[in-house]
Structures are given as structure tokens and as C-alpha cells.
Amino acid sequence: MSNHEGRSNLRQNKQLRRRWLTFVRMCRYGVNNFSRNAWLTVAATAVMTVTLLIVFSTLVARNVLLSTVDDLRNKVDVSIYLKNTITEGDVAILTNKLKDSPNVNNVRFISGEEAKKSYAKDHSADAEQLNIIADLPRNPFPASLRVSVKDLNNMKGIEDLVATDADFKKSLEPSRKPSFAGERKVAIETIGQGIEFAQRAGITASIVFMIISVLIIFNTIRMAIFNRKEEIQMMKLIGADRNFIRGPFMVEAMMYGFFAAIIATVLGWIGLRGLEGPLSSYGIIIQPTLELVTIMSPLILGSMIVLGAVIGIISSTFAVHRYLKV
């Protein structure tokens, strides 16, 4: 290696060392600035925490609602009512035809007698009504095929099969039309619409609070710049680089996001854990979401920290460019 190359490498090493020391000092000044004004720090961090907590809650609530709707969808079946005189052979033929449909998960046959016993069990307290049913000359409860489907919004194939197939036509109970999920389908569709509305409302609230966070951190950095005018002027006089002067304010804003992300994630997890019992008692499926959040907690925390840092960088960049003339 020549002397020239050696001097060049030495110069590059010195530059890298100088840049590293500058970065470390810039971060240290940013940390010091973060702790200088407790009230401003608490206010900015609190608003950022609320913002990130709303983002966390929106995503969690959407996942919980989707799990609940999927569970309800699995419990909903299509009731195809048949004559009580239907034979086992005819039931097997109809069952196989339904199972050939790509939208069918499972098919279960309920005889008229089984339907009657199930009704009596569910209405055991109403003795008068049970006596009336017992005195009827024929069983008023038809046999049925209970069909579990994959997609409630894609029932056309099953409807066409029941309406056009010759075997179904001769076996259907004329006084009872197929339910095709009936009121339960309407309820699930309503819940689905509620999920979309809740998701839009959550996104809107997240955006609003992000804007509020940006404005508050913007004003916090602006006040910090005004309070440190003499320090900034002194740094300019001794020849400090403009990035070195601006850097600590960026670090300060990122720290708001860092601590807010930790607090919001912890509060979100505690709140989700605390709501597990009450929500489960109402039939809301929260366990899969809770397990997912627990398993993915490092990734969730990292994502929240990145989001908080981005909000801090955006707001501090606006403030620095607007009020820090260096």
C-alpha cells in the first residue's frame, strides 16, 4: 500500500469517526431536550399515546368483529324442509347432490320426529302449547336437511338446485319454503355492515388524532426552538453544522413517539386482556385476537414505534423548517 493510499484511508477513518461522534452528541442533546420541559413532554407524549392507542384499538376491534362474524357464519345453516314420508334412500340422494355443491360444508338430516322432540325440549315450560301439539292428528314439524355453507352471500347454486332438480321437487314439503338462513343471515349481514362502519370510523379517528399529534408536537418543537435561541445562536457562532443544530429536535420528537408507542401497546394489551371475560360472555370471539396480539407483540410494538417515530419526524421537520433558520 502506498503512502498516498494510507493517508487517504486514515482521512476516511477520521471522517467516519467524526460523523459518529457528531451523531452520538446529537442524540444525547435530543435526549436532554426531551427531559427539559416536563409539562410539554407529558402533553406531547399523552396525545401521541392516545393516537397510537386508537390505531391499535381500531385494528384489534376489526379483527375481533371478523372472528365473531366467522363464528356466527359457521353456526348458520340452510334449512330445506322435506315431507315426513321421505325414505332413507331419497335422503341419501338429496344429501349427495348437495355435497357436490362447492359452497356446501356439511349436510345433516333431521326427521320430523326429531324436530318435534327438539321443539318440546326447547319449550318445556309451555305445557299448554305442548299439549296442543300432542293432540294434533299429524306431526306439524316437517323433516329437513340442515346445510352448512361456506359463503352465505353465494347461495344461488343451492337455490337453483332445490328449485329445478326433480328429486328435490318431489321431496319438498309444499307448505314450508327453504329458509336459506332467514333472519340469522340478515343478522350476520347487518354485523358485516357494522364492521365496515366501525372500520371507517376507526380510520377517521386515527387520522384526526394523528393530525392533532402532529400539531401538538409541532408547537412543542416550536416552543423549544424559541426557548433555546441563545444556545442555537452560540452553536451557529462556533460553526456548528446545520444538521447538528436541527438533529436534536428530530431526536426529541422521535422520543415522544417511542415512549408513546410503548405506553399505547401496553395499555392496549391490558385493555384487551381485561375485556376478554365480559366480551366472551356476550358471544364475542376475542380469544383468537388476544392470542395473535400476544404472539405478535414484538412485531406490533416495533410497528407502533415506527409509526410514532414517523409522526414525530413529520411534525418536527415542519417546525424546524418553519422556525429554525440556520
pLDDT single digits (tens) 303-313: 999 988 888 88
Ramachandran region of residue 107, left (φ > 0), alpha (ψ -120 to 50) or beta? Answer: beta
Burial of 248 (0-12, 13-18, 19+ CB in 10 A): buried
pTM value is 0.68
Which domains are seen in the chain, by residue range? 25-71+188-323 (no CATH), 77-180 (3.30.70.3040)
Q: Are 249 and 32 in contact (CB under 8 A)?
A: no
More confident residue, 33 or 93: 93
126 or 78: which leads in pLDDT: 78
Which tens digits make up the pLDDT trace of 83-105?
A: 888 888 988 999 999 888 888 88
Cα–Cα dist 306/216, whole Å: 19
Q: First vs last Cα of the chain: how many Å apart?
A: 42
